[in-house]
Copies of this chain bind each other. A is one copy, B any other.
Amino acid sequence: MEDLVQCVPNFSEGRDRTTLEAIVAAARAVPEVWVVDWSGDPDHHRMVLTLVGPAAATRDAALAAAAEAVRRIDLTQHSGQNPRLGAVDVVPFVPLGATPMELCIRTAREFGARAAADLNLPVYFYEEAATRPERRNLALVRGAGFDSLRHVPLTAERAPDLGPSHVHPTAGAVAVGARGRLLAININLRSDDLDVARAIARAVRERDGGLRGVRALGLRLPSRGHVQVSINVTEPDRVPLYRVLELVRAEARRWDVPISGTELIGALRLSDLLETARYSLGLHDLREGQVLDNWFSERLNLE
């Protein structure tokens, strides 16, 4: 298949189970699309949905989920940890297998056109789907987010690529993009010291001298009573997961703070697991072909 894509929409709701399940159900109802993973986080007040399927079907599943989110999420009632642009905050399309990035860019543009027309959302295209160089960077697109855009006209440098020149009253705007794969992990610290989480985040993220393509944020998790380092690895083939973990562990030791556990948000690749095993088991020459599951189709019948 040369049109297989992954779509990882993020929604600004992580608490109301009914809303989360309604969004998942809307995506699941679209044929040919697999819901690989979904999780809501009450502290991030965010839901991440991971879809895999043919580009067109996956686009439609993401649109169905987005429509449900716009219907149910009211950002004026909202307070979360992550900066957020809208109820449907960000919708990235990622190539799988032999799928070219161009198809993901085209699919992102189609999603944007429908989100503007059917959901009345201002649409900003980012990263590979960006229409202007300054919009490649999602952080810049998002800016100060919904609250800063609520009462101003979306004109000049704030003008959306598509849709109305004002944010949706309850659902804000949406960033739609095409990008390479990314790994999202949360590392939980057995500590309530936000300064430590922030110091570790600074130590590992590229911006402050850390690992290439790594973004990190220190957060407080009130519902769990501890702090967390939330990390995006944007070049996982260059920067293996184990190396990020070891660096975080080294910095955590500096502050004498134990790591209680790690969460993977969304999906990873078999290649990530192989590199982890090569490192942690010393299996330097382990080959993908040695994974028996690759040789029969049992693994494909997960649903």
Q: Which positions in A face B, CB cutoff 8 Å?
A: 1, 4, 6, 34, 36-37, 52, 96-98, 185, 187, 241-242, 245, 259, 261-264, 266-270, 272-274, 276-277, 279-300, 302
Q: Is the CB of B282 within 8 A of A245?
A: yes
Residues of B within 8 A of A245 (CB): 280-282
Identify which of A281, A284, A287 gathers the most chain B CB atoms within 10 Å of its CB: A281
A280 near B242: Cβ-Cβ < 8 Å: yes
Write the chain B residue with the least CB distance to A1.
Answer: B296
10 residue pairs, one from A and one from B, having the closest CB atoms: A280-B280, A262-B282, A273-B273, A270-B293, A97-B298, A267-B292, A52-B295, A294-B299, A267-B290, A276-B277
Please report the C-alpha to C-alpha distance between residue A279 and residue B289 in the assembled complex, in whole angstroms: 23
A297: chain B residues at CB < 8 Å are 1, 297, 300
A288 to B98, CA, bound (A): 23
CA distance A268 to B34 in the complex (A): 27
| Dominant SS among interface residues on chain A | mixed
| Copies of this protein, total | 2
Cβ–Cβ < 8 Å partners of A276 in chain B:
273, 276-277, 280-281
Give the distance in Å from the alpha carbon of A24 to the alpha carbon of B193 in the complex.
59
A250 to B102, CA, bound (A): 51
